[in-house]
Chains A and B, each alone.
Chain A
Amino acid sequence: MPKIKLPSKSPHIDMTPMVDLFSVVLTFLMLTTTMRQPEPAPIDTPFSISDKTAPDANIMTVLLSKDSRVFFNIDNGSDTSFHFKGKILKEMGTRYNITFTPEEVKQFEAYPSSFGMPIQNMKSFLNTKDAKERATLQIKGVPIDSTDNQLAMWILSTRQINDRVQTCIKGDNDAPYPIVKKVLDILQDKNVNRFNLITNLEVTKVTQSEE
C-alpha cells in the first residue's frame, strides 16, 4: 500500500492580521480613554431613567458614602487653565488661617479625585504620597457639623471663585437619609437650589395604565 504523503505544514500561524486588529483597538482605546479615578470610598450610584449626561467642567460634586462620610470634588479632579482648584484652596486657607505653599497648591491641583478631610489635615494630606496614610487622613470626611461646617465653606469658596459652577450630588444607594437631608440643607443655605443627582441609566418601559 502506498503511503499518502501529507504535506508537512509548519504549525506557525500568521499573526499579522491579529496584530493589525489589536493595533486598531489599542489606538482607539488609548485615544478615547478617560482614566477612571480611584475614589476614596466606593460609591454605588442609584439607577434612574434620566438620560442627561453629566457636565464635564464647572461642576462641584458632593459625594455621600455608605458610612455617612462626605467628600468633595471640583471639576472631577481635573483642573483647567483657570486654576480654579488652586484658587479655591488658597481661599479656604485664608478662611482657616492656613497658608499653603505653592508646592502644596500644585499638589492639590494635580490631585485627580475627591477628598474628604478637615482642612486642618489638608497640609499633611498634600505632603504625603503614601496611599495608606492618605486613606487614614480621610476617615472622617469633610466636617458638616453646625459648629465646624467646612462643607459649607468649600461650597461658598467654590462659588466665589467660579460663579458658573453647577452642583452635583453623588450618593451611595445606602447613604442614610439624614445625611442627605443635611447636605441638601447646607446647599440650600448657600443658595444652591438646583442639583444634579448622579445616577446610572436604567431603561424602563412605562405601560399605559388600564382604563
Chain B
Amino acid sequence: MGEIIQEEKQKGGKRKAKHHSTHIDMTPMVDLMCLLITFFMLTTAFSKSKVMEIALPEKKPVANPPQVPKARIVNIILGPENKVYWYPGMVENPKSPPPLQETNFSDQGIRKLLLDRNKFLFKKVAAFREKTIKENPTMSRDSLLANIKRFNKLDDSGPIVLIKAYKEARYANIVDIIDEMAICNIIRYAIVDINYVEDGMVKTALAGSTPSANPQK
C-alpha cells in the first residue's frame, strides 16, 4: 500500500514539472527563413532570356544577283548617338549623293516611315490575324505563322530595306532596327556593309547637324 501511494506522489510530482507551455518560440526560425528566401530571390534567374533569330545570307559570291526595283529600296543608316538616317533608292551619282534624312527610333520616326511603305502587306497580315482570332481561334500558332509566311512570300509591294551601320553605331541600334523590321512586318531586309559614298554622306550630315544643333542648346 505504501508503495502505491509513493508512486502516485511521484506521478503527481512529474506532472508539476511538465507544466510548461507547449509553444515554441518560432522567431529565430522565421529570421532564418527570411534570410534564405531573400538569398534565393536575389540569386534566382526567374525569366529565361529571350532570343531574336536572324539569318544572314551566305558569304559566297552570287553569279547573278537578283535585280531589285529601285523604287522599293530603303537605305537605313545607323549613325552615332542613336541617330538614324535614311534615303530611298540608290546612289546614282557618287559625286552628288542624295541628302540623308534624319529620323529616330520612336513611334513617329522610323516606324512610321516603314509602316507607311509597308502599309499594304501590314494591313493584310493584321486583317488575317484578326480574322483568325474571330473565326478560327483554335488555329495553332505555327499554322498561323505559316499562313503569314505565305503572304510574305507572295508580297511584291513592300520595301526592301538595306541596313547599314556607321562605325560609331552601337549594338543596341542594330537590335532595335531588326526589331523594327519585325514590328513592321518587313520581310525583305539585309544587313549590308556601309560603302564609302554613304560614309561620306553620314559625315556631311553630321557636320551639317552639329552647328545647327548647338545654338538650340
Say if A and B assemble together.
yes
A contacts, CB < 8 Å to B: 12, 14-16, 18-19, 22-23, 25-26, 29-30, 32-36, 45-55, 64, 168, 170-178, 180-181, 184, 188-189, 191, 193-201, 204, 206-209
Kindly supply a per-residue 1/0 record for chain B positions 164-195, scoring 1 wherever the CB is within 8 Å of any chain A CB and 0 otherwise: 01111111111110110011100000000100
- Contacting residues, chain B, for A177 (C-beta < 8 A): 78, 165-171, 173-174
Flag if B51 contacts A199 (CB, 8 Å): yes
- Contact A173:B52 (CB < 8 A) given known A22-B30, A33-B44, A46-B176: no
- Contacting residues, chain B, for A16 (C-beta < 8 A): 26
Distance in angstroms from B208 CB to nearest chain A CB is: 22
Q: Of B36, B78, B115, B174, which one neighbours A209 at CB under 8 angstroms?
A: B115
For residue B112, CB closer than 8 A to chain A, the reply is: yes
For residue B56, CB closer than 8 A to chain A, the reply is: yes
Flag if A33 contacts B43 (CB, 8 Å): yes
Complex: how many Å from CA A48 to CA B112?
A: 18
Flag if B122 contacts A51 (CB, 8 Å): no
- Contacting residues, chain A, for B184 (C-beta < 8 A): 206
Flag if B174 contacts A50 (CB, 8 Å): no
Interface-centre pick from B34, B123, B170 (highest chain A CB count, 10 A): B170
For residue B29, CB closer than 8 A to chain A, the reply is: yes
Distance in angstroms from B127 CB to nearest chain A CB is: 10
Output the nearest chain B residue to A211 by Cβ-Cβ distance.
Answer: B119
Flag if B179 contacts A50 (CB, 8 Å): yes
For residue B17, CB closer than 8 A to chain A, the reply is: no
Flag if B37 contacts A206 (CB, 8 Å): no
Flag if B171 contacts A50 (CB, 8 Å): no
For residue B57, CB closer than 8 A to chain A, the reply is: yes
B contacts, CB < 8 Å to A: 23, 25-27, 29-30, 33-34, 36-37, 40-41, 43-59, 78, 107, 111-112, 115-116, 119, 122-123, 126, 165-176, 178-179, 182-184, 193
Interface CB pairs A-B, < 8 A, 6? A19-B26, A48-B179, A50-B52, A171-B175, A177-B168, A197-B54
Complex: how many Å from CA A185 to CA B179?
A: 21
- Contact A178:B167 (CB < 8 A) given known A26-B33, A194-B55: yes
Flag if A175 contacts B170 (CB, 8 Å): yes
Output the nearest chain A residue to B112 by Cβ-Cβ distance.
Answer: A209
Flag if A54 contacts B48 (CB, 8 Å): yes
Output the nearest chain A residue to B123 by Cβ-Cβ distance.
Answer: A208
- Contacting residues, chain A, for B116 (C-beta < 8 A): 209
- Contacting residues, chain B, for A54 (C-beta < 8 A): 48-51
Flag if B26 contacts A18 (CB, 8 Å): yes
Q: Of B78, B111, B171, which one neighbours A172 at CB under 8 angstroms?
A: B171
